[in-house]
């Protein structure tokens, strides 16, 4: 098992940047009031030219102007956080890993898993690539959505939003095996047209997950009783520590993909050590997946 550096040793290494961010936030307030207020005043003048002067419109315009100015500065501070804090955390948690805040996880990583239907809009950010022992992995936050309705009723429907973890599996195999917890949205029947429901011996696992496979025997080869137990423990850990649950998994091309829905947008700017600690915890749990599922144990033909 990889040794995880204690938070107490991590905190001093990022405190200097946190102080910088706090000071920058204080220094940015005059800009918010002046530039934002000026922009709001200009907006109110434009509104007055068309519909006449109104105190209410003036207040609203000033508020909007300052809000835009604030989030503009917040985005700049967020860039500092991603450039300075995240690499330091990652260097301590997983030396040698690379981090791309804009995201560079290919759509094919998820589409080949058969967990989601095709044709969805895809957005990815905060992609991390690295290696733990013999196991290479890629991690990132992802969002899949599609549009429904027409005209004024047209709106975005989110199919998935959360984190994705894809890694080398410790067994060579063919075919595809997918599983989802009972609470996870099941996908179109078209997706599972070549799959059949696979029933496993562990009643607790059966009660928690639905398993589909292109080859029933192959699914049992992959989902050993030991791995089933590890998956349930991992899901419990995510739910307890991060508030995430309802994970889904796919095993294909001798690789493994985990998708965990989450409403939390991680790795965004924080101003306190307590806030950064949550990102640290998310990173350590990500790395721990390799140990939780015992992926570094090479099985038979897997070297």
C-alpha closest to that of 165 among 86, 90, 116, 105: 105
DSSP single-letter state for residue 169? -
What is the Cα–Cα distance from 47 to 53, expressed in whole angstroms? 8
Segment (H or E) for 65: helix 55-80
Whole-Å CA distances, 59 to 33, 52, 70, 202, 295: 13, 14, 16, 62, 58
What is the Cα–Cα distance from 285 to 289, expressed in whole angstroms? 6
Tens of pLDDT, residue by residue over 65-83, are 888 989 999 999 999 999 9
Tokens 């967990």, residue?
Answer: 115
Q: Can you say how many angstroms the Cα of residue 23 is from the centroid of all Cα atoms in its chain?
A: 29
Does pTM top 0.75 for this prediction? yes
Query: Which residues make Cβ contacts (< 8 Å) with residue 38, sequence separation at least 6?
Result: 65
- Mean pLDDT over each residue of the chain, to the nearest integer: 85
Which pLDDT score, from 0 to 100, does residue 86 have?
93
Tens of pLDDT, residue by residue over 242-300, are 766 678 899 998 899 999 888 888 899 999 999 999 899 889 888 889 888 888 875 54
Helix axes 7-51, 86-93, angle to 10 degrees: 150
Spatial contact of 288 and 296, defined as CB atoms under 8 Å apart: no
Residue 197 in this model has a pLDDT that exceeds 70: yes
Say how many residues make up the chain. Answer: 303
> Which band of pLDDT confidence, cut at 50, 70 and 90, is reported for residue 210?
confident
């Amino acid at each position: 098992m990889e040794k995880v550096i204690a938070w107490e040793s991590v905190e001093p290494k990022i405190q200097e940047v946190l102080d910088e961010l706090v000071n920058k936030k204080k220094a940015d307030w005059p800009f918010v009031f002046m530039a934002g207020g000026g922009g709001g005043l200009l907006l109110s003048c434009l509104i007055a030219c068309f519909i006449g002067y109104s105190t209410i419109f003036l207040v609203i315009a000033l508020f909007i102007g300052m809000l835009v100015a604030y989030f503009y500065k917040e985005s700049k501070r967020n860039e500092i956080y991603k450039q300075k804090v995240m690499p330091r955390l990652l260097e301590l948690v997983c030396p040698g890993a690379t981090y791309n805040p804009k995201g560079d996880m290919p759509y094919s990583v998820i589409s080949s898993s058969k967990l989601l239907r095709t044709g969805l809009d895809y957005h990815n950010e905060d992609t991390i690539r690295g290696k733990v022992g013999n196991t290479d992995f890629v991690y990132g936050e992802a969002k899949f959505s599609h549009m429904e309705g027409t005209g004024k009723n047209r709106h975005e429907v989110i199919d998935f939003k959360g984190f994705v973890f894809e890694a080398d599996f410790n067994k060579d195999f063919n075919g595809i095996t997918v599983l989802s917890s009972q609470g996870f949205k099941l996908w179109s029947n078209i997706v599972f047209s070549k799959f059949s429901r696979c029933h496993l011996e562990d009643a607790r696992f059966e009660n928690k997950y639905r398993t589909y496979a292109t080859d029933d025997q192959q699914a049992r080869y992959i989902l050993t009783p030991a791995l089933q137990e590890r998956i349930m423990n991992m899901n419990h850990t995510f739910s307890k520590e991060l508030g995430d649950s309802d994970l889904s998994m796919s095993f294909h091309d001798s690789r493994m993909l985990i998708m965990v829905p989450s409403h939390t947008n991680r790795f965004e700017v924080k101003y306190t050590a307590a806030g950064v600690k949550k990102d640290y915890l998310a990173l350590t749990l990500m790395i721990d997946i390799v140990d939780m599922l015992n992926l570094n144990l090479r099985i038979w033909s897997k070297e």
